[in-house]
Amino acid sequence: TMSTETFEFQVEARQLLQLMIHSVYSNKDVFLRELVSNASDALDKLRLAALRDDAPGADVSDLHIEIDIDAESRTLTVRDNGIGMSYDEVGRLIGTIANSGTAKFAQELREAQEEAGAEGLIGQFGVGFYSGFMVADEMTLLTRRAGENHGTRWSSRGEGTYTLARVDDAPQGTSVTLHLKPADADDQLHDYTAEWTIREIVKRYSDFITWPIRLVPKAASGDTGGEDAAQDGDAPESAGTASAPETLNSMKALWARSRDEVSDDEYHELYKHISHDWREPLETVRLQAEGTFEYQALLFLPSHAPHDLYNQNYQRGVQLYVKRVFIMDDCEALLPPYLRFVKGVVDAADLSLNVSREILQQDRHIRMMQRRLTKKVVSTVKDMMTSAPDRYATFWREFGAVLKEGLLSDSDNRDTLLAVSSFATTHSEDEPTTLKGYLERMKDGQEAVYYLTGESRQSIENSPHMEAFRAKGIEVLLLTDPVDEVWVDAVGEFEGKPLRSVAKGEVHLGGQDDEKADAEREKQGEEFAGLVGWMKEQLAEEVKEVRLSSRLTVSPACIVSDAHDLTPALENMYRAMGQ
């Protein structure tokens, strides 16, 4: 062992550790799920590298996960012989908040601490590796990257610093050893040195993991201590007496099993494994395609939008497997961008294990698969509207703005997407409406579905354009998402009724007194011809036309676009883009 260096955690990581150590998060068992999940990822990565001849010197002969418990020293070790980490990687991945290291997270953490409500945050972000500190007062990680000669030991008591040391004799892969807190440290702490506890937790949270999770038999783990991985020469002594290691999980891929064999909880655990989200998904979508191009899909609609959903580099897409072999994360070819929040697994039978992102983008079968998966997701949302209105409402609040991008880009599903869309409306302060709902409330003789776009509900409601509509009791949709500016033009109509902005062109509000109003307006037109003519001259540089308005009841004047002009907001947007 060479020299040991001590480092400080970055600020957010330190806050997070404090949160873990003093956690009141009631379900502490999930630390094991997190460590197993990381081990499984590491095995996936190694197998894939080997398949691509990208792991010279790596041993891929018996890839597995091991759990080793020692009641005497009160340690629990989760060990894998996967890809491992280099010295630099350990510092980068374990010393920082790898998956949640964002400004947003740090900010929410501070706010939550101020409100002393931080426990909910653990569930929201999913803090992976660090969750070990819920049950341990010290964690040690020993790792060697497959193919490399030297290993690294990382160790921390979770109190602001960690140590790193280069070591010579680490086995390939990673072992994480937890020095368990005293059993009576808190009520919710189970005895993690009891075999049956471990069996139960693995079965509950990690059964579907496709790698064997083995419980190291008591006798075989001997006196090597929990901290170090078993040395190569150690086993023979006890091999004669020890029972074979017991595999704790069934390893059955959930997506390949029939619906009635799998519980909702099992689906949810798979979701948590692949999404790194600790919360339950909103909906599970299954699809099994047979025939010339066979595949199985298990997709999930999350219950919360991730905070980086609108970032350029948001990692979108679902995992791609080929015949149970993990091929890639974030396979963007499988779903269109407007469904980028969907998580899940697609397992295709007839793809090459070497398939690349570029090839996938052009593959005819993949395109067909994308179309089918898209239809399935959209129809699931539609079903939710009627069968689970509350969940649909949550879905729409979280993902509606993204889904509306599909109104522009996906003409195949446009009608269904329109049907599942909800909009804020003058009809109700807080209940959004569907277009169908709007049509049912339309006044006799009303020709169009009226809407107005703007920055907020309030700014739209204060617009002078709204006056006549309010006076006549005509419902107006209040569209405040940036994407609304764009799709309304692309879509044009719903069930034969045109979508019309109340800010564009002339408005004919219809109704029985329309004729009377027309006559009245003609009379007024003659009366004010002089004034209008004078105004037109004065404003010749500024406006195309000056008209008497039928849309105002209180304001003296307002500016109106031509029916086919850009709205002011869109004009601004294009100007900002330099066009």
Does residue 152 interact with ligand ADP by CB under 6 A? no
Does residue 82 interact with Mg ion by CB under 5 A? no
CB of 169 to Mg ion, least distance (A): 26
202 or 460, CB closer to Mg ion?
A: 202
Binding partner selected for residue 85 from ligand ADP, Mg ion, none, CB under the kind-specific 5 to 8 Å limit: ligand ADP
Stretch that binds ligand ADP, among 6-14, 36-44, 471-479, 536-544 (CB under 6 A): 36-44
Contact 78, 180 (CB under 8 A): no
Binding partner selected for residue 327 from ligand ADP, Mg ion, none, CB under the kind-specific 5 to 8 Å limit: none
Contact 551, 472 (CB under 8 A): no
* Per-residue binding letters, 65-104, with ligand ADP (x by CB under 6 A): ---------------x-xxxx-------xx---xx-----
User: Cα separation of 305 and 312, whole Å?
Assistant: 15
User: What DSSP assignment string belongs to 132-178?
Assistant: GGGTEEEEEEEEE-TT-S-EEEEEE-SSSEEEEEEES-PPSEEEEEE
Which residues within the stretch 23-42 sit at the binding site for Mg ion (CB under 5 A)?
37-38
What lies within 8 Å, CB to CB, of 522 at 6+ separation is none
Number of residues that bind Mg ion (CB under 5 A): 3
DSSP β-bridge partners for residue 173: 144
Beta 493-494 vs 428-433: how paired, if at all? unpaired
Does residue 132 interact with Mg ion by CB under 5 A? no
Distance of CA 510 to CAs 443, 501, 522, 560, Å? Answer: 9, 16, 16, 19
CB of 99 to Mg ion, least distance (A): 7
423-425 sheet: strands from edge to edge: 428-433, 423-425, 477-479, 449-453, 497-501, 493-494
129 or 338, CB closer to ligand ADP?
A: 129
Does residue 34 interact with ligand ADP by CB under 6 A? yes
**Token pair belonging to 567:** 């709205």
Which residues within the stretch 426-445 sit at the binding site for ligand ADP (CB under 6 A)?
none
Number of residues that bind ligand ADP (CB under 6 A): 17
34 or 405, CB closer to ligand ADP?
A: 34
Burial class of residue 301 in the structure, from the number of CB atoms within 10 Å of its CB (0-12 exposed, 13-18 middle, 19+ buried): buried
3-state secondary structure at position 425? strand
3-state secondary structure at position 531? helix
Q: Which of 220, 177, 175, 179 is closest to 80 using CA atoms?
A: 175
CB of 224 to Mg ion, least distance (A): 26
Does residue 128 interact with Mg ion by CB under 5 A? yes
Q: How far is CA 232 from the centre of its chain?
A: 42
CB of 63 to ligand ADP, least distance (A): 12
Does residue 38 interact with ligand ADP by CB under 6 A? yes
38 or 426, CB closer to Mg ion?
A: 38
Does residue 156 interact with Mg ion by CB under 5 A? no
Binding partner selected for residue 80 from Mg ion, ligand ADP, none, CB under the kind-specific 5 to 8 Å limit: ligand ADP
* Per-residue binding letters, 305-344, with ligand ADP (x by CB under 6 A): ----------------------------------------
User: What DSSP assignment string belongs to 265-308?
Assistant: HHHHHHHHHHH---SPPSEEEEEEE-SSS-EEEEEEE-SS--TT
User: Cα separation of 113 and 215, whole Å?
Assistant: 38
Contact 210, 251 (CB under 8 A): yes
Beta 318-322 vs 295-301: how paired, if at all? unpaired
Does residue 140 interact with ligand ADP by CB under 6 A? no
CB of 37 to Mg ion, least distance (A): 5
CB of 107 to ligand ADP, least distance (A): 19
* Per-residue binding letters, 169-208, with ligand ADP (x by CB under 6 A): -----x----------------------------------
135 or 478, CB closer to Mg ion?
A: 135
* Per-residue binding letters, 114-133, with ligand ADP (x by CB under 6 A): --------------xx----
174 or 549, CB closer to ligand ADP?
A: 174
- Interaxial angle between packed helices 264-275 and 195-206, expressed in degrees from 0 to 180 and rounded to the nearest 10: 80
Question: Which of residues 13, 20, 32, 39 is near ligand ADP by CB under 6 A?
Answer: 39
Does residue 40 interact with ligand ADP by CB under 6 A? no
Stretch that binds ligand ADP, among 35-43, 350-358, 554-562, 563-571 (CB under 6 A): 35-43
84 or 128, CB closer to Mg ion?
A: 128
User: Cα separation of 264 and 282, whole Å?
Assistant: 11
Does residue 400 interact with Mg ion by CB under 5 A? no
- Interaxial angle between packed helices 484-491 and 568-576, expressed in degrees from 0 to 180 and rounded to the nearest 10: 110
User: Cα separation of 298 and 275, whole Å?
Assistant: 13
Tell me the residue number closest to ligand ADP, measured at CB. 128
127 or 491, CB closer to ligand ADP?
A: 127
DSSP β-bridge partners for residue 347: 296, 321
Beta 173-180 vs 213-215: how paired, if at all? unpaired
Cα radius of gyration (the chain) = 31
Residues found near ligand ADP in the complex (CB under 6 A):
34, 38-39, 42, 80, 82-85, 93-94, 98-99, 128-129, 174, 276
Residues found near Mg ion in the complex (CB under 5 A):
37-38, 128
